[in-house]
Amino acid sequence: MAHFDTILDARSPAEFAEDHIPGAINTPALDDEERRIVGTLYKQQGAFEARRVGGAMVAANLARHLRELWAHQPHSWRPLVYCWRGGLRSGSMVQWLRLVGWDAQQLAGGYKRYRQHVIEQIDTLAPTLQLRVLCGPTGSAKTRLLHALAASGAQIIDLEALAAHRGSVLGSLPGVDQPSQKQFETRLASVLSGLDVRQPVWIEAESRKIGRIALPNAIINHLRTSPCVRIDAPLDARLDLLLRDYASLGDDPQALADKLATLHGLQANDTLERWRAWALDRDLAPLFQELMTLHYDPLYARSQPGYLKGWAQAQTITVERLDEAGLKAAAGALHPLAL
């Protein structure tokens, strides 16, 4: 794909929004409503009627793209075009572009084949990585340390950034939707393809799901069997970090209370009622402290030894201060150990 000037996605805006080849531009042959109409005609009246009506729609859309989107392109422009399976939509677009005089090419197999390539990349590349797994209880700045390691020159995979979620019941990012499962996997494959498998790669310990995103088996299985580094940080430093990182939860007390209600059955009713009252009062300090000591820390202590195979042999690094200076020092201590 590097040999082309532009990648054009001929699918509908909804298909494009779910996932697309990185860097592609959406130039739909049919918009969402037109695609629905053509699909209905195909089912009810057959292929000829669907193509007759759809062909007129495609022609109108391509004419508009020629007037507006492609009008400035030079004669030397070389676009790559794809649709769902490399069929009529991308084929029609390529034919028009070639009639104009551009060297347009159609992606064989379309997005469906690219999707297979993404899965193959993850399954093939993930097991080859020299993963180093950062683990530690809630609030121990695992993600921040991951970024400090990246700043020191280490390779990292930030799964939570790719999933747009911080990985706990309170982990949704304010104003940010999670990507689709397909889009997450496309992002992950792109990251994996840029890593040097000869050098260590730091990653944060994660469960099988980050919000509603399911981690591919190739990643989660390799993560579970890789060497671990445990972060040990004081409770007060962890609480201070959580109050800074999750301060936005106080902006919508009812939403916070609703999230806490999902812990029903995991905590006593009177505990949940106390937490609900603190949430509605925006009293985050006692709420976060009890969430750590009564919920997250016990859960972490129970789950990690059996979940991470390298837990018993894990190196422990103590980080007294979870500020920029403390994490930079921790990264400096860890990074040479990985080389």
Q: Give the whole-angstrom CA distance, residue 30 versus residue 37.
A: 10
**HSE-up (13 A, CA, CB side) for residue 185:** 24
Q: Give the whole-angstrom CA distance, residue 150 versus residue 201.
A: 10
Beta-carbon contacts of 336 under 8 Å, excluding residues fewer than 6 positions away, are: none
Beta-carbon contacts of 13 under 8 Å, excluding residues fewer than 6 positions away, are: 26, 28, 31, 32
Q: Give the whole-angstrom CA distance, residue 12 versus residue 84.
A: 10
Beta-carbon contacts of 178 under 8 Å, excluding residues fewer than 6 positions away, are: 163, 164, 165, 172, 184, 211, 212, 213
Q: Which of helix, strand or coil describes residue 264?
A: strand
Q: Give the whole-angstrom CA distance, residue 143 versus residue 171.
A: 13
Q: Give CA 67 to chain center in angstroms.
A: 36
DSSP string, 125-185: HGGGSEEEEEE-STTS-HHHHHHHHHHTT-EEE-HHHHHTB-SSTT-BPTT-PPPPHHHHH
Of the residues 38, 83, 164, 334, only one is catalytic, namely 83
Beta-carbon contacts of 182 under 8 Å, excluding residues fewer than 6 positions away, are: 18, 19, 115, 118
Beta-carbon contacts of 24 under 8 Å, excluding residues fewer than 6 positions away, are: 7, 8, 9, 16, 82
The crossing angle, in degrees rounded to 10, of helices 110-125 and 217-224 is: 10
Let me know if 83 is a catalytic residue: yes
Q: How do strand 213-214 and strand 209-210 relate by DSSP bridges?
A: antiparallel
The residues annotated with a catalytic role in the active site are 83
